[in-house]
Chain A
Amino acid sequence: MKFLILLACKNLSRYKRRTIITSSVIAVGLMMFLIVDSLLVGIDRESVRNLRWYETSSVRIMHGDYWEDRMLLPLDVAIEDPDTMVGMLEDAGYRATERIMFSAEMILYGDYFGEAGNLPVQVTAVDPTRDNGVFKFADTLIEGRFAEPGSNELVMGSWMAEDIGAEVGYWVTLVTRGNGGFFEAMDMQITGIVNCPNPNVNRSLLMVPIDTIRDYLAMEGLATEIDIALPELADIEEEKEKIAALVSEWESTITIMGWDEMASDYLAAIEAEQNMSMILLFLVFLIAAVGISNTMIMVINERIRELGMLRALGMKDGDIHVLFLLEAAGIGLLGSIIGTVLGIALNFYLVGHGIDYGFLMREMDLAYRIQSIFRGAWNLRGILITFISGVVLSVVVAWFPTKRATSKDIPSCLRHQ
């Protein structure tokens, strides 16, 4: 074995240019993989965080029939006595808040907006005293202030405000149907504009005080959802069970869902996008694999007479396989080291600064819950697997040319020119 290692190392150093070129192909492939993997992991982590912080919370309690009809935003399928439920949850140490979601037609006046018009919107009625304890809107206000309890005030997402030309102080009218089917029109003044890291929220958020809405829409003692914040690493299923036990008196009328169930469409879309990225990366690896295989074929062809001599002198075919596989592993190891070092170096930039895709996210809905800067993340397991894959891939693709080398008879090898 010592001789085989010596010979493999000497061959690799003797044919430096070829070794470096082939290693570079592997290095570029691995580096790209590490960068894309870092971005995907980073995007995924940040998207999930922004989803929980600004859209779904960690766990939501709803009426048992609400989820099925959620697209209709029904008011008559609501939780009864939500204040008591929130109080019980808070007593048990949970951060919880109640909300009412409803759809409306927002009427814009020419006096303020330059042109009169209306657009369909989804409105979130929140408890101003509790909502920022569950969601993270507190630091996202870029203009004005949050709505006061009992007021006809409204907070709007920054992109929506930008799109319709809204400013703090402007009035709009929300027209909707109350609980029972009656029509209601509510004049609301914009008092604040928020800009958060979640593009969906910036694009569509309209936040109003829940007590005002209860009056208008006959929702006294009702809420369409109760949102609960949990620490990032909390076990959602375990917490759901604890919460269910706490609110067991509502057991027959409510359902409790984790953020991952509520965001299952998002998670499926992200998985599809990430699978697509992985297919592209697989193609990069395939190119690297062809490069290594081609190099090994060249190496074996050049040294076929040497192989014949080694076999004539009694070296076992298995040892000859090992010799070439060691050389391939050496190329793979070098490529893996270079690729990993480059990937890690670039990842420092990606984690620290990221790439600004704001122009894209503003115009397109890519499902990611990131507003502009895509940051990488450290995925040590991924780095380790990538490093090992570089070496293993080299050995695997070198196997077939190596096998072919010993299938030729010795006299033919010795005659080879």
Chain B
Amino acid sequence: MIRIQDVVRNYHAGETVVKALKGVSLEITDGEFLSIAGPSGSGKTTLLNLIGCIDALDGGEIVIDETPVSKMDKKAKTEFRRNNLGFVFQTYNLIPVLTAYENVSFVLSILNVPEKEIEERTMGILKEVGLQGMEHRRPDRLSGGQQQRIAIARALVKNPKIVLADEPTANLDSKTGEEILKLMQSMNEKYHTTFIFSTHDSMVMDYARRLVSLHDGQVIDDQRR
């Protein structure tokens, strides 16, 4: 369960204060497949960053499974992210010098998982995302869709509680984007992992089972389907 309570986030550009989030409150239950929608500058990415413990809020509170993550120090946040969160980025953010296998397996290395288990879990998740036989390819020899599949595998391989995806289909054509969404949906159903993704694409919104709309840093709509 994620409880977001009156979250405020301001950015400072010189003397100008940009209010990115103006008191957002939200409750997200385990296993949800939730989309945060809104135009550019509405605060989608800021909200994802705050839930993902990679940004600090200026007011309010975020509690994940009874843990007030917004009050944690930098070191504790790093550990929390390492153990509980998976990330999927718009530009995939794969390490170009590593193979598909290495791009996924290093997440488990960071967690000090035994070598044999790393191999089993990595090969297993790569198979599930449809990349069997491509383990030794580097990202530059894979399509955008395949790269995003690696990113999803990387996010899921450590069995996180929550996967945060910032505009995961924005760099893909509509057909590939749909495939990625279906993959995320199936993973959500199979592993009961909470998926929270931001988008401004209506096709992506259609896949969400819950759609939270933001505008100017405030929640303007919250629909369950």
Q: Is the CB of A7 within 8 A of B78?
A: no
Assembly CA distance A11 to B54 (angstroms)? 26
B32 at the interface (CB under 8 A from A): no
Chain A residue at minimum C-beta to C-beta distance from B55? A411
Query: Which residue in A2, A13, A14 is a CB contact (below 8 Å) of B96?
Result: A14
B132 at the interface (CB under 8 A from A): no
The total of Cβ contacts below 8 Å across the A-B interface reads: 64
Chain A residue at minimum C-beta to C-beta distance from B151? A309
Q: Contacts of B45 on A, CB cut-off 8 Å?
A: 411
CB-defined interface of A272-316 with B at 8 Å, one 1/0 digit per residue? 000000000000000000000000000000000110110111111
B93 at the interface (CB under 8 A from A): yes
Given contacts A7-B95, A312-B87, A410-B55, is CB(A2)–CB(B49) below 8 Å?
no
Query: Which residue in A2, A312, A315 is a CB contact (below 8 Å) of B52?
Result: A312
Given contacts A2-B109, A312-B52, is CB(A10)–CB(B82) below 8 Å?
no
Q: Is the CB of A7 within 8 A of B49?
A: no
Shortest Cβ distance from A16 into chain B, in angstroms?
12
Given contacts A411-B49, A411-B54, A411-B55, is CB(A312)–CB(B81) below 8 Å?
yes
Shortest Cβ distance from A337 into chain B, in angstroms?
22
B13 at the interface (CB under 8 A from A): no
Q: Contacts of A10 on B, CB cut-off 8 Å?
A: 97-98
Contacting residues of chain B (14-50) with chain A, CB-CB under 8 angstroms: 45, 49
Q: Is the CB of B78 within 8 A of A311?
A: yes
A359 at the interface (CB under 8 A from B): no
Q: Is the CB of A306 within 8 A of B110?
A: no
Query: Which residue in B85, B102, B110, B154 is a CB contact (below 8 Å) of A315?
Result: B110
Q: Contacts of B159 on A, CB cut-off 8 Å?
A: none
Given contacts A314-B110, A411-B49, is CB(A306)–CB(B83) below 8 Å?
no
CB-defined interface of B48-71 with A at 8 Å, one 1/0 digit per residue? 010010110000000000000000
Shortest Cβ distance from B212 into chain A, in angstroms?
20
Query: Which residue in A3, A308, A311, A410 is a CB contact (below 8 Å) of B106?
Result: A3
Chain B residue at minimum C-beta to C-beta distance from A9? B97
Q: Is the CB of A313 within 8 A of B107?
A: yes
Assembly CA distance A11 to B87 (angstroms)? 23
Shortest Cβ distance from B46 into chain A, in angstroms?
8
B197 at the interface (CB under 8 A from A): no
Besides A3-B109, A6-B102, A314-B79, 8 new A-B residue pairs in contact (Cβ under 8 A), listed by A number: A3-B110, A7-B106, A309-B93, A314-B78, A314-B82, A411-B45, A411-B49, A411-B54
User: What are the 7 A-B residue pairs with the smallest beta carbon separation, nearest first?
Assistant: A314-B82, A10-B97, A410-B54, A309-B93, A3-B109, A314-B81, A14-B97
